[in-house]
Amino acid sequence: MLSRSRWLDGPGFWWDDWLVMGLWVLSIEMAVCLVYLRDSWAGRDAIGIVTPHDIEEMLMWVYISVPFYIIGTYGSKVVWVALYMRMWDFNTPFRKMCWATVFVLVAATIAFTVGAIVVYWPFHYYLDDSAIVRQFHIGINLLPVVYSVAAINITMDFWVLLLPVPKLMSLTGVTRQRKARICVVFLLGFVVTATSVVRLRYIVPLHNTTNVTWDFAHFGTWSEIEVHLSMISCNLPALAGLFNRLRTRRRAVRNVQESDSTGYSGSSNRTPPKTPKLNTWSEGSASTSEQRQSEEQYEQIIMRPAQARAPG
């Protein structure tokens, strides 16, 4: 929010920023679930210690967290696409592709969230007092469903993160080094993809586990990590713009101080320099001017001002 605030010369808030705020509120629930999972012996090798009630309570909290996990992971991808729509002009083929991607992501979010609630997994994933997992529930083979959600999630990660790369590389008036840096900021989102792959590895033991508290704890922990990394990754472009502006301000202040210090040392009768102000600084060299122009181009690319109208 600081990076978008106009108090720090940000571009103002837009749809992607409000989506991030909503997802952040929902992600808090995941942390709450981890606290209650810990109270239900999750993460401990507790064979022979836990009661059927403990297992039931732990699985209930896992079940509660599943819809929020789906909304958080798929919603963060919608935030990425909304950022692309903020950066590039209206009524272009790329923008239409972005709208199609948003439609697919929203449809998948609704379908998987409703499915997770209706299937009621994993609260009734176990039979009576046993820790033997059912492979079917209300006629649905659950394991392929879980793998499908994870596979589509990883596939959409690749699609969404690679979607703007051709547009970024075709930017005019930007050096290759700057283009590469911008692309790196976007591609850091693949850290979330790596987390999804690790989480997928911990889904495998769930279909025949006999140590419920231990196996489901890893599954829940990596789900939590993935959701919060998703929140961080979709904020990286905005943070890059904030750091860029702060660096430019610091460089401006330093140049003013050096200029005043040089002038003061050349004249013993001059009064000591006052505290420098940013609006009094002007570049003294062509290289500094070009660097500032590059910084302004970066701001135009990454931090496009918020539009008064809805995206379209």
pLDDT digits (tens, 9 = 90+) for 114-127: 887 776 555 455 54
Average pLDDT over residues 82-90: 78
| 41 φ/ψ sector (left φ>0, alpha ψ -120 to 50, else beta) | left
* pLDDT at 131 exceeding the cut of 70: no
Average pLDDT over residues 302-306: 51
Which residues share a beta bridge with 140? 137
pLDDT of residue 276: 41
273 versus 145: the higher-pLDDT residue is: 145
pLDDT of residue 288: 44
pLDDT of residue 290: 47
Burial of 189 (0-12, 13-18, 19+ CB in 10 A): buried
Q: What is the largest CA-CA distance in the chain?
A: 92
- Structural domains in the chain, CATH included, are 6-235 (1.20.1070), 242-302 (no CATH)
Residue 234 CA to residue 186 CA, distance in Å, equals 8
pLDDT of residue 150: 85
pLDDT of residue 9: 54
Identify the three-state secondary structure at position 123.
Answer: coil
Residue 36 CA to residue 27 CA, distance in Å, equals 15
**Contact partners, residue 167, CB within 8 Å, separation at least 6:** 84, 88, 94
Strand ranges (DSSP E) for the chain?
Answer: 136-137, 140-141
265 versus 102: the higher-pLDDT residue is: 102
Does residue 153 contact residue 74 with C-beta atoms inside 8 Å?
Answer: yes
* pLDDT at 143 exceeding the cut of 50: yes
Of the candidates 96, 81, 93, 105, the residue with the CA atom closest to the CA atom of residue 16: 81
Tokens of 276: 């420098």
pLDDT of residue 213: 76
Kindly state the percentage of the chain with pLDDT values over 70. 57
Cβ atoms < 10 Å from Cβ of 66: 23
| Per-residue DSSP letter, 210 | S
Average pLDDT over residues 168-197: 79
Does residue 179 contact residue 142 with C-beta atoms inside 8 Å?
Answer: no
Tokens of 254: 């330093």
Does residue 279 contact residue 256 with C-beta atoms inside 8 Å?
Answer: no
Average pLDDT over residues 299-312: 50
Average pLDDT over residues 157-186: 80
Does residue 232 contact residue 60 with C-beta atoms inside 8 Å?
Answer: no
pLDDT of residue 158: 92
pLDDT of residue 103: 95
| Residue 43: pLDDT band with limits 50, 70, 90 | low
